[in-house]
């Protein structure tokens, strides 16, 4: 197998893809005008971010026309409830300003004119940041979060603020305050959470690229359940302050997109790393498979799709290395929830104070939806989720370092580029069925079914890339996750470029518009 073409610095900065270069020949004067008129709204919303930016940069499509097309799709998919805030006229005015800047000969940023939806837990100074909870319904921070500043500085337009699981405290995006977010592949089902709105916006062609955030699966679960790509970068790779928190040890912003190339574009903007990104040669690449942990007790359709995808990767030359991560389940039990449940109230209190939200954490919880009030009440002394200081200290100082060292030794011993596994144990569940899941006739706690597989990587701070693997017989998306060594984000994206060529994209969801 020959090595596939990667994404070069030229593609990211100049955004001159092969297709755009081909159509550029002779596209001047009246012919260019004719081609611009012939581009349909459906054509525009199907574009990747990279391809849309190429057209915007060349003037083949105006930023206003492109923004209008995305806003039209947002209206068509309004019943999916992907957005909490969608300031249409403001977006169009920003797009018109982008067009004026381009025609005046201004130096264009790498995201010039691209509308990007932002999870409504990420601070924006021009729009409210609700965290999906009633007490913050009108809270407007004084400053953008660093990730938002980076995107805007690169020329992006903030499309709106997306719906989420309230306070990011769950995996369904069934928000009782702002309404449930619906999966575009089956509107009766969850899109995953907590970044469900961003994932739905990207999957439903409301935008090609969006901002999500992940503490324990909140990028990866929605990406998996909505059939798109998602990257949770190595913890601290992107600055994640200015975000409604759970724990600073795990919280990490990151992108949703429909292509790995767009994830890589986001990564370059966020980090300033514009180095060439070659696609990894799959032939001879080792991928770790730990069936004892990640493949046990799967839904039968998840297992079928995942194993079919692994066979495709093998046929493309990848080498599967069967090896378990020693003591993984115990280390996760000792770290993930003890740290998150201990930190949640403290981190939220600090966020409210630092951002001058003018509401206390107790007031915020008192106004929260019933499910969130219950969960936060259980974090207090005497509650079932209360974590004593000694247990928390052991989690941070003993067990978390042990987990990270165990992963480091695993990667060194096996030589694998990434560990591969199904992102969740189940397909998207029906809205409201969030207490138990039934897997092959057995009742399984819902949090186990959605979070068992994704918890280890984010707890250890590893980069995790989610890619569509296929569909169930009933037409629901199933995904694989690839977790690489700490700091291997660019290499993981290079691997993803090749993997997505082998596995392919899923068909567009046919939600009722």
Q: Is 413 assigned a catalytic role?
A: no
Q: Report residue 464 as tokens.
A: 């995790």
* CATH number, residue 223: 3.90.1300.10
Query: How many domains does one find in the chain?
Result: 1
Q: Is residue 26 part of a domain?
A: no
Catalytic residue among 17, 48, 168, 194: 194
DSSP 14: T
Q: How far apart (Å, rounded) are the C-alpha atoms in residues 363 and 290? A: 45
Find where tokens 């186990």 sit.
448
The reply to whether 237 falls in a domain is yes
Name the residue with tokens 């337009």. 157
Distance CA 9, CA 213 (A): 26
What range does the domain containing 68 cover? 35-274+287-503
Evaluate whether residue 253 is within a structural domain. Answer: yes
Is 119 known to be catalytic?
yes
The pLDDT tens digits of the residues spanning 336-353 come to: 999 999 999 999 999 999
**Residue position matching structure tokens 């059939």:** 227
Closest CA to 194 of 178, 215, 224: 215
- Please check whether residue 232 is in contact with residue 463, taking contact to mean a CB–CB distance below 8 angstroms: yes
- Does residue 25 fall inside a structural domain? no
Separation of alpha carbons 479 and 427, rounded Å: 9
Q: At what angle do helices 49-58 and 63-76 cross, to 10 degrees?
A: 140
> Distance between CA 418 and CA 436 in Å, rounded?
31
Q: What is the pLDDT of residue 38?
A: 65
Place of tokens 């003591």: 327
Does residue 240 carry a catalytic annotation? no
- How open is the CA angle 12-77-79, to the nearest 5 degrees? 140
Task: With CA atoms as reference, report the closest residue to 223 among 203, 253, 238, 206.
Answer: 203
Q: Rounded to whole angstroms, what are the CA distances from 395 to 55, 57, 335, 408?
A: 50, 50, 5, 18
pLDDT along the chain (513 residues), means of 10: 40 37 36 53 97 97 98 98 98 98 97 99 98 98 98 98 98 98 98 98 98 98 98 98 98 98 98 96 98 98 98 98 98 98 98 98 98 97 97 98 98 98 98 97 98 98 98 98 98 98 96 65
Residue 378 half-sphere exposure, CB side, CA atoms within 13 Å?
11
Say how far apart CA 260 and CA 69 lie, in whole Å: 23
Specify the residue for token string 């837990």.
Answer: 121
Q: What is the dihedral of CA 303, 305, 307, 312, to 10 degrees?
A: -170
Distance between CA atoms of 308 and 305, rounded to whole angstroms? 5
**Per-residue H/E/C for 227-274:** CCEEEECCCCCCCCCCECCCCCCCCEEEEEECCHHHHHHHHHHHHCCC
Active-site choice (119, 369, 458, 488): 119
Give CA 406 to chain center in angstroms: 26
> In the prediction, which pLDDT does 212 show?
98
Q: What gap in Å lies between CA 172 and CA 180, rounded to an integer?
A: 8
In a domain, 156, yes or no: yes
**Residue 58 CB coordination number (10 Å):** 17
One of 173, 218, 369, 458 is an active-site residue; which one? 218
> Does residue 70 sit within a domain?
yes
List Cα–Cα distances, 214 to 193, 245, 348, 383, 409, in angstroms. Answer: 9, 10, 16, 25, 25
According to the model, what pLDDT value does residue 265 have? Answer: 98
Classify residue 9: in a domain, yes or no.
no
Cα–Cα distance for residue pair 162/303, rounded to 1 Å: 31
Q: Is residue 129 part of a domain?
A: yes
Find, among 271, 274, 273, 268, the residue nearest to 9 by Cα.
Answer: 274
């Amino acid at each position: 197998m020959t090595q596939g073409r990667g994404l070069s610095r030229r593609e990211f900065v100049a955004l001159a893809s092969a297709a755009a270069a081909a159509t550029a020949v002779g596209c001047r004067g009246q012919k260019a005008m004719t081609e611009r008129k012939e581009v349909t709204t459906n054509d525009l919303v199907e574009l990747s971010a990279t391809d849309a930016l190429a057209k915007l940069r060349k003037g083949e499509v105006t930023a206003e026309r492109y923004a209008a097309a995305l806003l039209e799709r947002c209206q068509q998919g309004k019943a999916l409830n992907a957005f909490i805030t969608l300031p249409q006229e403001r977006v169009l005015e920003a797009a018109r300003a982008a067009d004026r800047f381009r025609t005046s000969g201004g130096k264009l940023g790498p995201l010039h004119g691209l509308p990007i939806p932002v999870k409504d837990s990420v601070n924006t100074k021009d729009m409210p940041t609700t965290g999906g909870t009633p007490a913050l319904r009108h809270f407007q921070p004084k400053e953008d979060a660093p990730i938002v500043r980076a995107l805007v500085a690169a020329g992006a337009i903030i499309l709106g603020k997306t719906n989420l699981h309230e306070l990011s405290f769950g995996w369904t995006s069934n928000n009782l305050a702002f309404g449930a977010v619906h999966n575009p592949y089956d509107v009766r089902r969850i899109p995953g959470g907590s970044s469900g709105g961003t994932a739905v916006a990207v999957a439903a062609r409301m935008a090609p690229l969006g901002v999500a955030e992940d503490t324990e699966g909140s990028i990866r679960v929605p990406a998996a359940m909505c059939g798109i790509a998602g990257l949770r970068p190595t913890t601290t790779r992107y600055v994640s302050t200015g975000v409604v928190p759970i724990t600073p040890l795990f919280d990490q912003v990151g992108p949703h997109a429909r292509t790995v190339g767009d994830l890589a574009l986001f990564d370059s903007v966020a980090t300033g790393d514009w180095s060439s990104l070659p696609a990894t040669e799959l032939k001879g690449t080792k991928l770790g498979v730990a069936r004892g942990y990640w493949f046990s007790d799967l839904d039968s359709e998840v297992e079928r799709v995942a194993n079919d995808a692994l066979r495709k990767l093998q046929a493309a030359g990848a080498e599967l290395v069967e090896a378990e991560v020693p003591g993984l389940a115990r280390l996760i039990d000792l770290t993930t929830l003890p740290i998150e449940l201990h930190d949640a109230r403290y981190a939220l209190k600090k966020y409210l104070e630092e951002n001058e939200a003018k509401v206390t954490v107790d007031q915020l919880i008192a106004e929260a939806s019933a499910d969130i009030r219950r969960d936060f009440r259980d974090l207090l002394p005497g509650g079932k989720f209360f974590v004593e200081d000694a247990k928390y200290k052991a989690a941070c100082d003993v067990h978390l370092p042990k987990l990270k060292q165990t992963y480091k030794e695993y990667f060194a011993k096996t030589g694998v580029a990434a560990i591969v596994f199904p992102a969740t144990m189940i397909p998207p569940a029906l809205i409201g069925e969030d207490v138990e899941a039934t897997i092959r006739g057995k009742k399984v706690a819902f949090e186990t079914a959605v979070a068992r597989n994704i918890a280890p990587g984010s707890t250890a701070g590893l980069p995790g890339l989610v890619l569509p693997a296929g569909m169930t017989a009933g037409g629901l998306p199933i995904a694989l996750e690839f977790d690489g060594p700490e700091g291997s984000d660019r290499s993981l994206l290079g691997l993803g470029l090749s993997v997505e060529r082998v596995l392919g994209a899923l068909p567009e969801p046919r939600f009722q518009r």
